[in-house]
Amino acid sequence: MSLKEDGPSVAIVGVTGAVGQEFLSVLTDRDFPYRSLKLLASKRSAGKTLTYENRDYTVEELTESSFDDVDIALFSAGGSISKKFGPIAVDKGTIVVDNSSAFRMDDGIPLVIPEVNPEAMAGIKLNSGKGALIANPNCSTIICLMAATPLHRRAKVTRMVVSTYQAASGAGAAAMEELELQTREVLEGKKPTCQIFNQQYAFNLFSHNAPVLSNGYNEEEMKLVKETRKIWNDKNVKVTATCIRVPVMRAHAESVNLQFETPLDEAAAREILSKAPGVVVIDDRAANKFPTPLEVSNKDDVAVGRIRQDVSQDGNYGLDIFVCGDQIRKGAALNAIQIAELLL
Amino acid sequence: MSLKEDGPSVAIVGVTGAVGQEFLSVLTDRDFPYRSLKLLASKRSAGKTLTYENRDYTVEELTESSFDDVDIALFSAGGSISKKFGPIAVDKGTIVVDNSSAFRMDDGIPLVIPEVNPEAMAGIKLNSGKGALIANPNCSTIICLMAATPLHRRAKVTRMVVSTYQAASGAGAAAMEELELQTREVLEGKKPTCQIFNQQYAFNLFSHNAPVLSNGYNEEEMKLVKETRKIWNDKNVKVTATCIRVPVMRAHAESVNLQFETPLDEAAAREILSKAPGVVVIDDRAANKFPTPLEVSNKDDVAVGRIRQDVSQDGNYGLDIFVCGDQIRKGAALNAIQIAELLL
């Protein structure tokens, strides 16, 4: 991030969280230009000093007047904060990039992965005097669609069966700490501390902790179903998902089975994915080297491998792929800042 | 296990391995009757004394004459040992229950899950003077089909998309030890020891380490595809699988998407599964309580939950389920001993 007089004024809401901290790292990495920076958090964190790029910032309490003269606000403080303060910021003329699920499915709110559907936010301009909300998709959706979209563009995906392997980070920094603590406890033969989740996470896995809806899907799974339709602007695409939390720190993996309207062979798919922006292909069959969460941790690109023609579908109408992406980075902070970059 | 003069004489091949040890536990738990017991292993382990049910046994080296007067031999010492010594035992009139993949797909060799297809071994009799080979399916196949078969019987499965979450135990006791060692090392900030697998396993996951075939599937995945067809005696059932190793000790999980020939609603599916032998339903949506690997560890039953109508399929032609089973127990030792029980 670099101070530039003609850059936007930026605010980060929820700066002390895992994604909030990652916003700062990504802004630096991408040399995002800014005129001023405001770090906002809850009353509990207000008053803390954060040093960022050799300057000291005092964390300010988020209030209704926080957004005076803020051009871009990056929100990652949970859905209820977004619901309350997002519209207040918009009223002040701020463009809000919101990492929560509060507005994602609202009509008129763009839900954007910059490599996938930048056109969805075409009407939104900086310095127009008009505020706006742009929603960041759910981490699992972003990581899945980074790989599926280039294939969808070529052969039209008609159905997608997704099983996820989700990291602790999706539940926040405290969940990552609990996974580490529990693992130490289990190795010492102690009873694991279960505060964030209601069961042992160390050396275990479990169905995603999001509430389960009346159709038996949990909210995390229905995000994949619904957000895919909105992002692809395709009401007919069929998606099912099973979301599982695995004892991994900060990157998600997803096993994705694809059905296409027109045939697509695996060589063409590999070629398409190798040229896709933000995607790296790791698919060395002889060496048994494929994407892993560890490999993509702290990296920007989503990795895809295990690209193969689905033996359960006739002709070349199906593919299986395996995708890994950093949950905090491309799954949250990086994607939000790429959205902000589209505004510049 | 109990000494009975009219029981069979039993040999265990590979008694010092993870599954070999589990054979002993399961024989005890099920009070399996036997006339005599022979514990066989490689030269390296021969001469060791094992105390079992208050008797001392000397582990004997596996040789061509090991099977004189052995009625039932339980093999779990890897494919090459089975290939060499399985036929030798059969020639001596022994009935071999083989836990390796050596003979599973051979014509004329029954591949059996006792709850699923006991009829496949109908021609094989103890004390007939005729030896025989019976193959134990792969752990992932057993665990998947324990849940899928009761539904298949009702509504005929036409296609199955499986993603696995496989424990360390499938790669043997040394892999379990490596996972624990690596986890300690990572927590201490040390470089993890990678001897069994060529990459970090602690707080990570990776595509199953089985060799990858020319169609891009690894051998573990193709076992699910091919063994399902043989066990169900249905050449047309379509299966695809993505097999992933996760940092869990001894129980596998599987996300299974099912397509049916005739409609099956989730209430009927839950009813069918709740009555299926060897299956327990854990499916409490309100409490977010579903099967976990930890919950089924050291247990006989396969647990199934997340039973729901697939939103990506029209009508009631699809279901998603999530299955967990102990890899060493129902995935290997228990299933083999249940096969032996069918012989009694």
Asked, for residue B178, whether it belongs to a domain, the answer is no
Considering the domain architecture, whether residues B45 and B150 belong to the same structural domain is answered as no
With bands split at pLDDT 50, 70 and 90, how would you rate the model's confidence at B339? very high
Q: Between chains, do A308 and B217 touch, taking CB under 8 Å as contact?
A: yes
Asked, for residue B76, whether it belongs to a domain, the answer is yes
Q: Between chains, do A200 and B294 touch, taking CB under 8 Å as contact?
A: yes
Considering the domain architecture, whether residues B97 and B240 belong to the same structural domain is answered as no
Q: Is the pLDDT of residue A124 over 80?
A: yes
B195-202: average pLDDT: 96
The answer to whether the beta carbons of residues B310 and B339 sit under 8 Å apart is: no
Could you give the percent of chain B with pLDDT greater than 70?
99
Q: Between chains, do B255 and A242 touch, taking CB under 8 Å as contact?
A: yes
Asked, for residue A72, whether it belongs to a domain, the answer is yes
Q: Which two tokens stand for residue A301?
A: 């690109």
CA-nearest residue to A295 within chain B is B204
Interface of A with B in 175-194 (CB under 8 A): 179-180, 183-184, 187
Q: For chain B, what is the mean pLDDT?
A: 97
A153-159: average pLDDT: 98
pLDDT at A262: 98
Nearest Cα to Cα of residue A312 among B217, B266, B196: B217
Model confidence over A67-92: pLDDT tens digits?
999 999 999 999 999 999 999 999 99
pLDDT at A2: 64
Question: Of B199, B204, B288, which has the smallest distance from its Cβ to A248's Cβ?
Answer: B204
The answer to whether the beta carbons of residues B127 and B106 sit under 8 Å apart is: no
Whose structure tokens read 């090459």? B80
Judging by DSSP bridges, how do beta strands A2-3 and A33-34 pair with one another? parallel
B83-106: average pLDDT: 98
Asked, for residue A16, whether it belongs to a domain, the answer is yes
Name residue B115's amino acid.
Answer: E
The answer to whether the beta carbons of residues B24 and B11 sit under 8 Å apart is: no
* Whole-number Å distance between alpha carbons of B145 and B137: 10
Number of domains present in the structure of chain A: 2
Q: Is the pLDDT of residue B1 over 60?
A: no
Domain of B85 in residue numbering reads as 2-135
Considering the domain architecture, whether residues B116 and B61 belong to the same structural domain is answered as yes
Name residue A227's amino acid.
Answer: E
Considering the domain architecture, whether residues A248 and A119 belong to the same structural domain is answered as no
Asked, for residue A300, whether it belongs to a domain, the answer is yes
Considering the domain architecture, whether residues A21 and A92 belong to the same structural domain is answered as yes
Q: Is B317 on the interface with A (CB under 8 A)?
A: no
Model confidence over A4-41: pLDDT tens digits?
788 999 999 999 999 999 999 999 999 999 999 999 99
Model confidence over A44-67: pLDDT tens digits?
999 999 999 999 999 999 999 999
User: Which of A159, A244, A295, A317 to probe the B interface (max B CBs under 10 A)?
Assistant: A244
Considering the domain architecture, whether residues A109 and A224 belong to the same structural domain is answered as no
Considering the domain architecture, whether residues A69 and A149 belong to the same structural domain is answered as no
Interface of A with B in 254-313 (CB under 8 A): 255, 257, 266, 285-286, 288, 290, 292-294, 305-313
Q: Between chains, do B216 and A308 touch, taking CB under 8 Å as contact?
A: yes
For B304-324, the DSSP string reads EEEEEE-TTSSTT-EEEEEEE
Residues of B in contact with A286 (CB under 8 A): 212
A194-215: average pLDDT: 97
Considering the domain architecture, whether residues A80 and A163 belong to the same structural domain is answered as no
pLDDT at A208: 98
Q: For chain A, what is the mean pLDDT?
A: 97
Residues of A in contact with B247 (CB under 8 A): 203, 246-248
Could you give the percent of chain B with pLDDT greater than 90?
97
Torsion sign (Cα): A297, A342, A51, A65: negative
Asked, for residue B333, whether it belongs to a domain, the answer is no
The CATH number of residue A32's host domain is 3.40.50.720
Model confidence over A223-259: pLDDT tens digits?
999 999 999 999 999 999 999 999 999 999 999 999 9
pLDDT at A5: 81
Considering the domain architecture, whether residues B157 and B281 belong to the same structural domain is answered as yes
Nearest Cα to Cα of residue A106 among A87, A125, A129: A87
pLDDT at B4: 79
Q: Is the pLDDT of residue B50 over 70?
A: yes
Active site residues of A: 139, 252
Size of interface A-B (CB pairs under 8 A): 168
Considering the domain architecture, whether residues B46 and B74 belong to the same structural domain is answered as yes
Considering the domain architecture, whether residues A147 and A262 belong to the same structural domain is answered as yes
pLDDT at B2: 64
Residue B163: half-sphere exposure toward Cβ, Cα within 13 Å:
27
* Whole-number Å distance between alpha carbons of B63 and B59: 12
Angle between helices B173-187 and A173-187 (to 10 degrees): 120
* Whole-number Å distance between alpha carbons of A55 and A338: 24
pLDDT at B147: 98
Residues of A in contact with B255 (CB under 8 A): 163, 242, 244, 255
Whose structure tokens read 């909030």? A20
B210-235: average pLDDT: 98
Q: Is the pLDDT of residue A294 over 80?
A: yes
pLDDT at B6: 86
Nearest Cα to Cα of residue B240 among A306, A151, A228, A252: A306
- B110: closest CA of chain A, how far (Å): 24
Angle between helices A139-155 and A219-231 (to 10 degrees): 40
Asked, for residue B344, whether it belongs to a domain, the answer is no
Q: Between chains, do A309 and B246 touch, taking CB under 8 Å as contact?
A: no
Helix, strand, or coil here: A115? Answer: coil
Whose structure tokens read 């900030």? B189
Helix, strand, or coil here: A40? Answer: strand
A129-133 LR contacts (CB < 8 Å, sep 24+): A129/A93, A130/A93, A131/A89, A131/A90, A131/A91, A131/A92, A131/A93, A131/A94, A131/A95, A131/A96, A132/A90, A132/A95, A132/A96, A133/A86, A133/A87, A133/A90, A133/A95, A133/A96, A133/A98, A133/A103, A133/A109
Asked, for residue A100, whether it belongs to a domain, the answer is yes
The CATH number of residue B254's host domain is 3.30.360.10
The answer to whether the beta carbons of residues A275 and A154 sit under 8 Å apart is: no
Strand-pairing partners, residue B12, are: B39, B74
CA distances from A109 to A73, A81, A93 (A): 15, 17, 15
pLDDT at A1: 53
pLDDT at B3: 72
Residues of A in contact with B318 (CB under 8 A): 240
Q: Between chains, do B205 and A163 touch, taking CB under 8 Å as contact?
A: no
First vs last C-alpha separation in chain B: 14
Q: Between chains, do B215 and A308 touch, taking CB under 8 Å as contact?
A: yes
Nearest Cα to Cα of residue B144 among B321, B286, B337: B321
Question: Of B204, B308, B320, which has the smallest distance from its Cβ to A294's Cβ?
Answer: B204
Considering the domain architecture, whether residues A162 and A38 belong to the same structural domain is answered as no
